[in-house]
Amino acid sequence: MNIGFEAKRAFTNGTGLGHYSRTLISSLATYFPANDYFLFTPKQTDMYSAEGFNNMHIVTPQHFPSTLLTAAWRSSWVKKDLKQLDIDLYHGLSHEIPVGIQETGIKSVVTIHDLIFERHPEQFNAIDVKIYRKKFTYACQHADRIIAISQQTKDDIMQFYKIAEKKISICYQSCNPSFGKKVSEAEKLRIKEQYQLPDRFFLYVGSIIERKNLLTICKGLKQVQSKLNIPLVVIGSGDKYKQQVKDYIKEQQLTNDVIFLSEKFTNASFKSAADFPAIYQLAITMIYPSTFEGFGIPVLEALWSNIPVITSNVSCMPETGGNAALYVNPFSVDEMADAMIQVATNEQLRQEMITKGWQHAQNFTQQKCAEEVMKVYKSLVP
């Protein structure tokens, strides 16, 4: 089978959509090597490499006007390339498929990660909401099959876009396998020194936006400060909400207790997340109190890293964390503070969470996730 991917984010996105694209493409090429995989991207970068995969091919626009109008090429004109390359099935890895692909005879699949902009439009630019709605709706209506990355997302697709349940398959995502590899003590020491990390710390990884809820962690930190004296390390960037969080930190004299790592380091191994497994494994716990997610990949990364997870008891977080995480009401500072104390001081609880976390993570191996996606492909192209 010749399988094409809308792979722009594999080459340009350093957060969840990019990680999903890179991990899935690599997993499919590894576990189903008989197929050929074509990565359609407006530009090729060093964020993803096809080296080592004989069955992987990168396709960029080659002729004017596609070389100039790359957005038009990606959203429509790419159909000409799909036909020339004999593509059997095209997978839009993040919410989009080419306009008119249903008229080409090429089967199409689209992955919908979340519909957060539908649930919380107030957190988005109004124009962006209209653009997203148009693209997502078109993709859901015209793709031959929809992949939802959680039950939560499947429910939202049916609710907001009135799509028939039988058209939607839940295929959970995996994460970079490097998180599941034990980092040596020597390497952890090197990373600790390089990033000037404290001996013990809580960890938060994710965009610093309102629904990710970093402020609740900071308020919990203030509440337990006198009992624990353990700082919080933050990996992620943000804008207005981040400033709100920083204003609180300053007011509460927590400046030395919250370390914004992304402000201090821009080296290649940090930007590519290559050093993240070591940082995770150095942490006491990973805290992710998001109020709404499509999946919550940092939770899975932490489970693979053999560290406890504190996360929300809402949205899809119980799907991702299973029986391993410590769940809190994301709006309760008291519950957050209590969870932080428990994980930092109760070694028996920590070990139980680590054991359960590793066991639960086995449901999200690269191979299992690739097999579920391949089932969807084969249902369309036997």
What is the predicted pLDDT for the residue at 261? 96
Q: Which residues contact 171 (CB under 8 A, 6 or more apart)?
A: 111, 147, 148, 149, 369, 372, 373, 376
High-pLDDT (> 90) share of the chain, %: 87
What are phi and psi for residue 87, nearest 5 degrees? -70, 130
The total of other beta-carbon atoms located within 10 Å of residue 74's CB is: 19
Mean pLDDT of 246-259: 96
Can you tell me the distance from the alpha carbon of 124 to that of 147, in angstroms, rounded to the nearest whole number? 24
Q: Which residues contact 138 (CB under 8 A, 6 or more apart)?
A: 97, 99
Mean pLDDT across the chain, nearest whole number?
95
What is the predicted pLDDT for the residue at 260? 97
Tell me the one-letter amino acid at 326. Answer: L
Judged against a pLDDT cut of 90, whether residue 209 lies above it is answered with yes
High-pLDDT (> 70) share of the chain, %: 100
Q: H or E element: which one contains 131?
A: helix 126-142
- Residue 17's pLDDT band (boundaries 50, 70, 90)? confident
Residue with token string 């090197």? 190
- Residue 202's pLDDT band (boundaries 50, 70, 90)? very high
Tell me the one-letter amino acid at 263. Answer: E
What is the predicted pLDDT for the residue at 226? 87
- 171-181 pLDDT, tens digit per residue, is 999 888 899 99
If DSSP codes are grouped into helix, strand and coil, which group holds residue 244?
A: helix
Decide if 2-174+365-380 and 177-363 have a common fold.
Answer: yes
What is the predicted pLDDT for the residue at 301? 95
**What CATH code would you report for 177-363?**
3.40.50.2000
What topology does CATH give the domain 2-174+365-380?
A: Rossmann fold (3.40.50)
End-to-end, the C-alpha distance of the chain in Å comes to 9
Could you tell me if 381 and 1 are in contact, meaning their C-beta atoms sit under 8 angstroms apart? yes
Among 32-36, 207-211, 303-307, the minimum mean pLDDT is found in: 207-211
Judged against a pLDDT cut of 80, whether residue 14 lies above it is answered with no
Q: H or E element: which one contains 163?
A: none
- 92-127 pLDDT, tens digit per residue, is 999 999 999 999 999 999 999 999 999 889 888 999
Tell me the one-letter amino acid at 348. Answer: Q
pTM: 0.87
What is the predicted pLDDT for the residue at 277? 97
- 32-87 pLDDT, tens digit per residue, is 999 999 999 999 998 898 888 999 999 999 989 999 999 999 999 999 999 999 99
Mean pLDDT of 153-164: 96
Domain coordinates in residue numbering, the chain: 2-174+365-380, 177-363
Could you tell me if 306 and 358 are in contact, meaning their C-beta atoms sit under 8 angstroms apart? yes
